[in-house]
Amino acid sequence: MNNKAFTISFVVAFFAVWMVYSYVSSTEQAYKDQYGVEKSVVVAKRDIKELDILDETNLTEISVPNKFVQPGSSGKVSDFKSALAIAPIHEGEQVTRTKVTQLGARTGLARQIAVGKRAVTIRINDETGVAKLLKPGDRVDVLSTIDPSGSGNKLFLETRTILQDVLILATGKFVTNTVPGIMESDPFKQESKTKVNLQEYTQFANITLEVDPFQAQTLVYATKNLDIYVSLRNNDDNVKEDLGKTMMKDLMGKDGATVGAGAQPKGPSATLQPKK
């Protein structure tokens, strides 16, 4: 009797398992028919910010139905390794080629320069460079003091604004819309990487300006022969003022009319003279 009951129970259990298996198989097949077989894709392991470098620390591989594979995706992390994110990528989001770019000539400073413009670097310090409170994307005027008389007499020195509304492309080696600064004490240890906060970065001794070809010549001449100062302006202020020169008499106010009276400048009147 017990054997008969056991046999019946076994048959019923087997039939139930078979029914479940058949249902799961048919459901899985219908799922595959509707959405396709699963494929491996690369997704963000965590939120990835714009300009982050992609590697195994922020990427992983998962399987998704073929219907949900996005165009431009890939199934291997190695396909995106060392690429640069050009847009934010959320955790779990598929990484596609439209959101990354490979580092190379097109990701450096050259692509930031407008057609017809040139990049020229000038040295600055706290005094001449607005206390280094500058960053890529700021706009500045360039000033210098010259001696057009060639006499060496300070009464005839002139301070002029030689360039106006000039774009700063880079401060030191920091460039707008490019790879953020990363210092590595040990390139083989991820935990040793320290990102530099661009807003607090002042350890630079030069800035790179975007100018037209003739302005580039002017800047090179000025940096070789004169002291250069920059003045920071509002990014939305693109007005170029019709400025005159500033001389000693302008500093003296109403007494300035008598300053240098009777003194005659010597030498050419319109030549930039080298700094002493």
| pLDDT for residue 104 is more than 70 | no
Residues 116, 95 within the same domain: no
Whether 182 has a pLDDT exceeding 50, the answer reads no
The mean pLDDT of 121-150, rounded to a whole number, is: 92
**86 and 124, same domain (yes or no):** no
Residue 267 lies in a domain: no
- Does residue 95 have a pLDDT over 90? yes
Residue 269 lies in a domain: no
Domain contains 16: no
- Residues 84, 196, single domain; the answer is no
Residues contacting 248, CB < 8 A, separation 6+: 154, 155, 157, 256, 259, 260
C-beta of residue 209 within 8 angstroms of C-beta of residue 167? yes
Q: How confident is the model at residue 184 (pLDDT cuts 50, 70, 90)?
A: very low
Report the alpha-carbon distance of residue 41 to residue 61 in Å, rounded: 6
Domain for residue 205, yes or no?
yes
Phi, psi (deg, nearest 5) at residue 79: -70, -25
Residues 247 and 130 in one domain: yes
- Report how far residue 125's alpha carbon sits from residue 215's, in angstroms, rounded to the nearest whole number: 22
Residue that is last in its domain, among 82, 103, 124: 103
Number of domains the chain is built from: 2
Could you give the CA distance from residue 20 to residue 40 in angstroms, rounded to a whole number?
A: 28
Q: What is the sign of the dihedral through the CA atoms of 42, 47, 50 and 53? A: negative
- How far apart (Å, rounded) are the C-alpha atoms in residues 154 and 148? 11
Give the per-residue pLDDT at 253. 75
Q: Which of 122, 138, 218, 126 is nearest to 172 (CA)?
A: 122
Query: What is the Cα 228 distance to its own chain's centre?
Result: 26
Q: How far is CA 132 from CA 126, 159, 166, in A?
A: 6, 21, 16
Question: Do 228 and 98 share a domain, yes or no?
Answer: no
Specify which residues 206 forms β-bridges with.
123
- Indicate whether 31 pLDDT > 80: no
The C-alpha atoms of residue 17 and residue 25 are separated, in whole angstroms, by 12
**Are 144 and 195 members of one domain?**
yes
Residue 164 included in any domain: yes
Please check the confidence at residue 263 and state whether its pLDDT lies above 80: no
Q: 56: domain CATH number?
A: 3.90.1210.10
- Domain range for 220 is 112-258
| 137 and 195 housed in the same domain | yes
Do residue 85 and residue 191 come from a single domain?
A: no
